Structure 1
Amino acid sequence: MAATGPCFSVAGFCPALVRSCLTPSSSSSGKMKSNPVPNLTRRFAVSTEQVQIKTEATTTSFPDNERLKMERLENETKEKKIPLLWELAEAEKKHRKSMKDYFEESKDLIRSDGGPPRWFSPLECGSRLDKSPLLLYLPGIDGVGLGLIKQHYSLGKVVKLVERTVRSENCRSPNRLTYLVGESLGACLAIAVAARNPDIDLVLILANPGTSFKKSQLEPLMPLLALLPDQLQLGLPHILSLMTGDPLKMMMDNVTKGVPLQLTVEELSQDVAAMSSYLSVMGDILPRETLLWKLHLLKSASAFANSRLHAVKAQTLILSSGKDQLLPSQEEGQRLQHLLPNCENRLFSDCGHFLLLEDEVDLATIIMGTNFYRRGAYHDYVSDYVPPSPYEFKKIYESVRLIRLATSPVMLSTFEDGKIVRGLAGVPSEGPVLYVGYHMLLGFELAPMVSQFFFERNILLRGIAHPSMFRRLKEGRLPPMSQYDIFRIMGAVPVSGTLFYKLLSSKAHVLLYPGGVREACHRKGEAYKLFWPEHSEFVRMAARFGAKIVPFGVVGEDDFFEVFFDYDDQMKVPFLRDYIIDIAKESKSVRTEENGEVGNQDMHLPGVLPKFPGRFYYYFGKPIETQAWNLRPVDLITASSQSSSRSHVPHLKLVAHPSSLNRQSQH
């Protein structure tokens, strides 16, 4: 399985190349400055009309499964080697650029050759997939087109000009999707283009859109800038601090990641010294006349975009910063989400105005996590899915570190000859494979299990999940969609017979919990009780593709928590009953055809009390072969009906308590 991020043809728009043609210089003569453009082919392919794409293949592949295996016994005393997966993640990290690169490469782009504005394609984006969509980046107030510099590797490793390019590319490839990534001013331009071209399939990604200009502190700044002498340039230090971020926050982020404090302080000191040396570069990027001109441009673009919001039909993703000191971006993201018909909003609480230059922001991961990556008219959860890269997965793996430490998961698997081993060596390597198991309380077993499968065996468990994690009938009391982005990045799909069919046909490893919400939100006294349907659901489909079925059981979570206020108790309280009913109206219901408790899939949050910490134990049974069954439909129905009863689940050994495991497994 290749480790690739979403693949795009990427191009940035650089009006700053001709800044002196658009604004007067600061010289007393009023003449335009004309400086030769250096050799931009070092890092970019530049064109006045078409986007030049470098097509050399640069792919990163995961090693074979056997090379990823490592000894994980906790009582070993010898030094562990760094997993090869982490080495790949570190190699990928080295390709990612920094704020220093932003300033260094800006030096090339702020000089003018007197020519028209043009698009450029970063050569480090590398190759692209066939029929990959086009991504056009529209810069913000800095205007050098490098706001995506930290995103170039992971992304594929002025309205008339933009519109002409969009229409030209659409005529060349009518079925090709075009992404418009706009930042502040660029977001206003993207909205304008989308409003003027509703017939073209566009996806808008708007970072801190400048449509909130009239509510910002920038408008009162314009008269002040016009009166200030050239020598003062009071705005530059403030703007520089906004671009470089909060130094204390950067230090604390490194400490929480385990970087030694002394090394963190040293690196921070070096970064601050380096940034200070780039003050003159900032002066070249935004001299007073240019800054004032761009503020006027932003004001006009904001007014125009706001007047055209009603005409925007494109799929839109708003990226909002919680600490934007230039624009009220958090409030604006919420406003646009309610005004635009097909819009989602993601908030980055600790980020400043220049969102795409923040270390923790990875645009490729965001696009995948929001299911905004598609190559056709509609998103396909199977064919459009791109597995996380080593760098992306490492961030996810570290994000669930506390859960792993608290639960100390022990995983046991079974070979086809019946031998039980510690670890996941017994699970099949080749798909299709269907993992069928019991859903523990609130599904806390998912994070350690899914991450360990990918870490140890390079296997992605494509989970069949509740529709509320992907689409809402309306917004209300359910948690924000952003809380489920990590599940989508790791391959979860909404429950659907069609998607189940596609996953098995693509030889995927599919994770299925027949008990669903009813099992995960069980009541008092229902620990480890199955709530599986009586009719055929998964056995027939698995046999259709000859998939191996791996039954599994998990214990431990009910040894962490005790349910004291369950669904039955909450339905007796009027305001809680209304709360549960409101949640049910916000998302698509599942198993509506079922009777009894299996059909009761109402979502709620059980009240729990912590108990003495236990441990998670996972047992994956012997794989069940279905390829040689050749069962008739009536036999499949019978087999499926038997598998949904706890006493008849074939080879599904649900351990009642960790004490029943042998002593060796507990260490």
Structure 2
Amino acid sequence: MGSMVNTVSQLGLMSSAMRWDSVGGVRIRTNWMRAYGYSSAGVKRKFGFLRDSRKRIAASCFEGNKEGNSVPNKLELEPLWNDEYGTQTVQDYVEIAKEMILRPDGGPPRWFCPIECGCPLKDSPVLLYLPGIDGLGLGLILHHKALGRAFEVRCMHIPVNDRTPIEGLVSFVENAVRLENKSSGRKPIYIVGDSFGGCIALSAAARIPTIDLVVILINPATSYNRSKLQYLPPLLEAVPDQVQTFMPYLYGLTSGNPFKMAVVNTTGSSPTLIMEQVFSKLTAILPHLSDLADIISMDFYVWKLKLLKAAAAKANSHLHAVKAEVLIMASGRDYMFPSGEEAGRLVNSLQNCKMRYFKDNGHALLMEDGFSLLTIIKGSGTYRRKNKLDIVSDFLPPSLSEFKICFDKNLGFFHFAVSPVTYSTLHDGSIVRGLSGVPHQGPVLLVGYHMFFGLEISSLVEAFLKEKNIVVRGMTHPEMFTENFRSINEHVLLYPGGVREALHRKDEHYKLFWPQRPEFVRMAIRFGVTIVPFGVVGADDLMGICLDYDEQMKIPSLREKIRLQNLKTKKLMNRTVLEGEEISKQDFYVPGFYLKKPGRFYFLFGKPIETRGFMESWKDEELAMTLYLKIKSAVEQNMSYLLEKRKQDPYRDIFARAAYRAISNSSSDIPSFEP
């Protein structure tokens, strides 16, 4: 058995050069097959017995291709790319799972590459998915298309009649990782362990500490000895005739929150329409989940519970040997395991571990609405293509679903309250609504005023994504200018005033606190970066300051709190700031504030300033200072212009905007003043 498992584990794990052959109108990745003596015709014979529905998931990266053309890797993703999240649902999972359980094909554990994953980006790392207690390998079904852009996805499948012990499963994964490591070069290998799979992932990682691994644990089953499941094996042995009675209960623990599963990919213009869709999906999903509980055999459950107990014990005994980078995702409403508590224990036990907590989700986190595995991997700074993270080359732009969640769902009410409006300046000096005056081709440096609490940032980022399909990146320091920055033609946002400007005192609205030396201008000239000065106003219409920094420093308890907070926080201050400059006062603190009736945010981007003609003179301090003063003056003039013109906006008041939306049935493009 062991040799067969090891042999099968190698299939599909050779590094893919993305070379394709046509076999009967089906495109197959062929290089790994030939490495083990299979021709394209041989592959067709080997997989010919599979039924059509099984070919969709079990064939190693099959994809329609009647022409048989070669398919190169995509070089990059465009902002707001369609990750197709939710196009496959839990109902798809249930239908495929029923067939796999009712018509098992036998054999040992093996890997398959879901066809839905498609073609990944160039140099994408491999991601190995280790399933939960069902062993089917379908747990990523909602995420196949999104993950397939950033990873070469392989899913582990354990046939329902397979009885490979835990040692064999760990060896199966270990051999796969070693084989992939030989061909992947400097790329990390990702292992996603879901519940039971998390125990296997930790045990395998402990055996290969020298390989660059990123282990992602989703509600890991390492807390088995503190879970409700530990009481089931003796109970099943005591009353074997009543085992079938417990099946729906056990499956209910593992299947997660049906409501959150039904919410996936629901769309509608009103809560009523959304609830109708959710109810319709619930009525379709619940009977199928019940059917799955009924068709799973007693032997399957008894074996899996024994395997689960052994897997948890093995993983816990080797935690000290895990050197890999670990990311844990834990649910707050996991009724199968105490996942939140267990995540805290693992963070303290593992050497390089961080966690993300989802308080409203259940055990089947990967199947529930509002959870995108790729988004969490990106947002936690865990995605990389080499042994070290490169924040430029490893950056993945936001997808369309991420944009909707962020700006429509999470920030929707805030953006409704401030209804931002943007203006820009054309080369002839005329001001127009929108961002047409901002160059589309980078590198471009956006330099402007930092409003109170940095409230303008989300509105600025949203505007560039919506209108120009451009991702604006933030820069904390001029030394971030590099050749890499110039080569990728990015739009970068810089606030010379930093924290001092964003956390200003009373009566300091729209006052710039910039350093005296023009370091960012010299760096921009050196790399030929176009500078666009901008002004923004509106925070004073949203909130007022009642207790500022100077006043808090006069109160002993608050002064001590600020001091301790800033001992832990690295100050964001320009390294060339001269002692005594106002901008050097970069202490973080939380000002006392009160809310006002919301007004509106206004942006004005000034006339672009080209620096390519001065690149050879980047060390000329007089030239740099001249441009610096020009930029600073432009920002101040833009704000003065907006402060005056906003008085002419008939929709500055939130009630006027709400009335307009109610009448026009429009959620955007609310009129404003004419420039």
Out of 411-420 and 607-616, give the one that drifted further.
607-616
Q: CA deviation at 1:52?
A: 8.5
CA distance in 2, matches of 1:637, 1:233: 85
Between stretches 142-151 and 256-265, larger displacement belongs to: 256-265
1:512 to 490, 494, 517: 494
Q: Which moved more, 1:548-557 or 1:294-303?
A: 294-303
Aligned pair partner of 1:614 in 567, 587, 599: 599
Mapped to 2, the partners of 1:279 and 1:60 lie a distance apart of: 44
Assess if the C-alpha contact under 8 Å between 1:428 and 1:623 holds in 2.
Answer: yes
Once the two structures are overlaid, the 10-residue window that deviates more, 242-251 or 321-330, is 242-251
Corresponding residue number in structure 1 for 2:23: none
Q: Which residue identity does 1:122 align to in structure 2?
A: P
> After superposition, where does 1:171-320 map in structure 2 within 5 Å?
171-230=182-241, 233-242=244-253, 245-246=256-257, 258-262=269-273, 264-265=275-276, 267-284=278-295, 286-320=296-330
Select which of 437, 442, 448 maps to 1:437: 448
1:98 matched to which residue of 2?
Answer: 89
CA distance in 2, matches of 1:106, 1:372: 31
2:465 alignment counterpart? 454
Q: Which runs of 5+ in 1 are unaligned?
A: 1-7, 10-35, 66-84, 466-494
In structure 2, relative to structure 1, the CA distance for the partners of 1:264 and 1:43 (3 Å cut) is: same
Return the letter of the residue paired with 1:102: Y
C-alpha deviation, 1:210, in angstroms? 1.1
Give 1:600 deviation, angstroms.
2.3
SS in 2 for 1:497: helix
Task: Give the aligned partner of residue 485 of structure 1.
Answer: none
Structure 2 gap ranges (5+): 1-14, 17-48, 65-69, 150-168, 650-671
The alpha-carbon deviation at position 255 of structure 1 amounts to 9.3
Of 370, 373, 382, which residue of structure 2 is paired with 1:372?
382
Greater alpha carbon shift after TM alignment, 197-206 vs 529-538: 529-538
Q: Could you tell me which of 423, 427, 440 is aligned with 1:412?
A: 423
Shift of 1:274: 3.8
Query: RMSD of aligned C-alpha atoms?
Result: 3.1
Aligned AA for 2:105? D
Structure 2 counterpart of 1:165: 176
SS of the equivalent of 2:603 reads strand
Secondary structure of the corresponding residue to residue 140 of structure 1: coil
Write the deviation string for residues 305-355 of structure 1: whole angstroms up to 9, x where unpaired.
122112211111110101100111111122222322322211111110011
Q: What TM-score do you get using the length of structure 2 for normalisation? A: 0.78
Provide Cα deviations, 1:174-223, integer angstroms capped at 9, x if missing partner. Answer: 32211000011111111111111110000011000111112211112222
Question: What amino acid does structure 1 have at the position aligned with 2:375?
Answer: T
Deviation at 1:248, TM superposition (A): 5.6
Mapped contact 1:434–1:547 kept (Cα < 8 A): yes
- Structure 1 window deviating more from structure 2 (274-283 vs 132-141): it is 274-283
Say if 2:360 is the partner of 1:350: yes
Q: TM-score normalised to the size of structure 1?
A: 0.79
Counterpart residue type for residue 150 of structure 1? L
SS of residue paired to 1:628: helix
Name the structure 2 match of 1:555: 537
Find the partner of 2:587 among 602, 608, 612. 602
Report deviation, 1:103. 0.8
> Is the CA contact 2:143–2:373 (under 8 Å) kept in the aligned structure 1?
yes
Give SS of 1:43's match.
helix
Cα distance, 1:198–1:408 mapped onto 2, change above 3 Å: same
Partners of 1:141 and 1:575 in 2: how far apart?
53
- Give aligned pairs, total: 577
Residue 29 of structure 1 corresponds to: none
- The residue that corresponds to 1:541 in the other structure is 523
Compare 566-575 and 514-523 and name the one that shifted more.
566-575
* CA–CA distance in structure 2, aligned partners of residues 392 and 184 of structure 1: 26
Q: Distance in 2 between matches of 1:120 and 1:456?
A: 40
Q: Could you say if the C-alpha distance between residues 500 and 172 of structure 1 is closer, same or farther in structure 2, counting changes exceeding 3 Å?
A: closer
Percent identity of the aligned residues?
45
| Contact 2:263/2:278 (8 A) holds in 1 | no
Whether contact under 8 Å (1:403, 1:448) holds in the other structure is no
Compared with structure 1, are the counterparts of its residues 323 and 640 closer, same or farther at alpha carbon in structure 2 (3 Å cutoff)?
A: farther
Q: 1:551 aligns to what SS in structure 2?
A: strand
Structure 1 residue matching 2:532: 3-state secondary structure: strand
The answer to whether residue 56 in structure 2 is matched with residue 43 in structure 1 is yes
CA distance in 1, matches of 2:528, 2:170: 54
Q: Give the letter aligned to residue 139 of structure 1.
A: P
Cα distance change, pair 576–304 in 1 and its aligned pair in 2 (3 A): farther
Are the structure 2 counterparts of residues 428 and 656 from structure 1 closer, same or farther at C-alpha, using a change threshold of 3 Å?
closer
RCO higher in structure (CA 8 A, sep ≥6):
1
Q: Is the 8 A contact 1:551 1:651 kept in 2?
A: no
2:138 pairs with one of 140, 146, 149:
146
Q: Is the 8 A contact 1:501 1:541 kept in 2?
A: no
Alpha carbons 1:532, 1:645 under 8 Å: kept: no
Shift of 1:456: 1.1
Going from structure 1 to structure 2, the CA distance change for 1:641 and 1:321 (only over 3 Å counts) comes to: farther
Per the alignment, residue 160 of structure 2 pairs with none
Q: Would you tell me which structure has more helix in proportion to its own residues? A: 2
Conserved? CA contact 1:537–1:640, under 8 Å: no
Between the aligned partners of 1:498 and 1:332, the Cα distance in structure 2 is 39
Deviations along 1:44-67, one digit per CA (max 9) or x if unpaired, are 3547xxx9899846979999x9xx
Q: Secondary structure at the match of 1:141?
A: coil
1:653 Cα deviation after fit: 2.4
The change in CA–CA distance for 1:584 and 1:645 in structure 2 (over 3 A counts) is: farther
Q: Distance in 1 between matches of 2:351 and 2:601?
A: 44
**Does the CA contact (< 8 Å) of 1:642 and 1:648 recur in 2?**
no
Q: Do the aligned partners of 2:499 and 2:572 also contact (CA within 8 Å) in 1? A: no
* Per-residue CA distance 1:266-314 (angstroms, 9 max, x = gap): 5414432443134233334x43332222222222221221221122111
Judge conservation of contact 2:263–2:369 (CA < 8 Å) in 1.
no
Tell me, yes or no, if structure 1 residue 402 matches structure 2 residue 402.
no
- SS of the aligned residue for 2:473 comes to strand
How far residue 597 of structure 1 moved from its aligned partner, in angstroms, is: 2.7
* Aligned mate of 2:111, from 110, 113, 119: 119
The one-letter code of the counterpart of 1:391 is S
The separation in 1 between residues aligned to 2:201 and 2:117, in whole angstroms, is: 22
SS in 1 for 2:144: coil
1:578 corresponds to 2:563: no
Amino acid at match of 1:43: R
2-structure distance, mates of 1:375, 1:61: 13
Q: Deviations over 1:364-391 (max 9, x none)?
A: 1111111211111111110011112222
